[in-house]
């Protein structure tokens, strides 16, 4: 799961989270910034391969 | 949308924009701590996995009935988004974040195009032919947990989804 509020998602018990540094309402970056979008999706999929409990920070 | 809902929406969006720390604390206070959830493990390589999106940003087809923002404690019904939907087919209905950016480019809350590119590149096995849109602004999650989530789980099991990517609003 992408998270904008990591403390909140931690409490919900989501097994894997990718903390992104974007604004609320823009979890995959700014409109038409498809480069960032691709990085977010890539990093989310990398996260899916990691053990439950993994918490990653988005890397630009 | 009723005037009361419009005012509530404007106040909420202004609160989260101007006081992000207080907004975080407010949200944290209204989330129940979950423990003892089952372990989930990816059983095969990504290149063989079917991947679905689940968004709580209020994503739905333009032809669908929008989420009812006037309902209390929030519209918990689900919207199914077909895998062949394009950005032009989609819109968002929500009240707790500024919708301007998501309405300009829905991929910021629903990156289906990027998933399709990864499928074409062979990095994932397939993009699911169904995805889910939910309205995440629900303070009391009783109906979500009892009705909406079991529906989603059953649908994803029937469709043999291996990976669900959750995207908030």
CA gap B66, B145 in Å, rounded: 21
pLDDT of residue B32: 85
How does strand B59-61 pair with strand B90-92? Answer: antiparallel
Residue B157 in domain: yes
pLDDT of residue B144: 92
Mutation for B interface: A25, A28, A31, A39, most B CBs within 10 A:
A25
Residue B113 in domain: yes
Residue B45 in domain: yes
Q: Report the residue of chain B nearest A36, measured CA to CA.
A: B108
- Chains A, B: CB contacts within 8 A come to 111
ipTM of this complex: 0.96
pLDDT of residue B132: 98
Domain residue limits at B90: 34-167
Dihedral of the alpha carbons of B144, B28, B167, A42, in degrees to the nearest 10: -140
Q: Which residues pair with B135 in a beta bridge?
A: B57
Number of structural domains in chain B: 1
Residue B66 pLDDT greater than 90, yes or no: yes
Residue B141 in domain: yes
Local confidence band at B131 (pLDDT 50, 70, 90 cut-offs): very high
Residue B40 pLDDT greater than 90, yes or no: no
Residue A26 pLDDT greater than 90, yes or no: yes
Q: Using one digit for the tens of pLDDT, what is the confidence trace for B155-164?
A: 999 999 999 9
Residue B75 in domain: yes
pLDDT of residue B34: 87
Cβ A31–B104 below 8 Å, yes or no? yes
Provide the 3-class DSSP secondary structure of residue A21: coil
A40-57 as b/e: b if 16+ CB within 10 A: bbebbbebbeeeeeeebe
Q: What's the sign of the alpha-carbon dihedral B124, B127, A54, A1?
A: positive
Q: Where are the domains of chain A?
A: 2-57
CA distances from B139 to A27, B19, B31, B135 (A): 21, 19, 8, 11
Residue B19 in domain: no
Contact present, B93 and B25 (Cβ < 8 Å): no
Cβ–Cβ contacts within 10 Å for residue A29, how many? Answer: 25
Lowest mean pLDDT among A13-22, B23-32, B117-126: B23-32
Smallest Cα distance from B142 to chain A, Å: 14
């Amino acid at each position: 799961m992408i998270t904008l509020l990591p403390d909140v998602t931690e409490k919900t018990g989501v097994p894997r989270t990718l903390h992104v540094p974007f604004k609320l309402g823009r979890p995959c970056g700014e409109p038409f910034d498809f480069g960032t979008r691709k990085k977010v999706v890539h990093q989310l999929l990398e996260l899916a391969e990691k053990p439950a409990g993994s918490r990653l920070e988005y890397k630009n | 949308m009723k005037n009361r809902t419009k005012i509530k929406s404007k106040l909420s969006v202004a609160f989260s924009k101007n006081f992000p720390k207080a907004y975080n604390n407010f949200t944290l206070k209204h989330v129940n701590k979950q423990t003892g959830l089952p372990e989930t493990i990816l059983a095969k390589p990504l290149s063989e996995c079917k991947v679905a999106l689940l968004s709580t940003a209020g994503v739905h087809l333009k032809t669908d009935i929008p989420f009812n923002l006037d309902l209390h404690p929030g519209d918990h019904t689900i919207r199914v988004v077909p895998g062949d939907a394009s950005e032009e087919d989609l819109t968002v209905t929500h009240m707790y974040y500024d919708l301007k950016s998501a309405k300009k480019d829905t991929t910021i809350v629903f990156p289906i195009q990027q998933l399709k590119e990864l499928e074409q590149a062979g990095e994932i096995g397939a993009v699911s032919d169904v995805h889910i849109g939910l309205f995440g602004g629900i303070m009391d999650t009783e109906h979500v947990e009892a009705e909406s989530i079991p529906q989603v789980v059953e649908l994803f099991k029937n469709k043999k989804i291996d990976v669900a990517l959750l995207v908030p609003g």
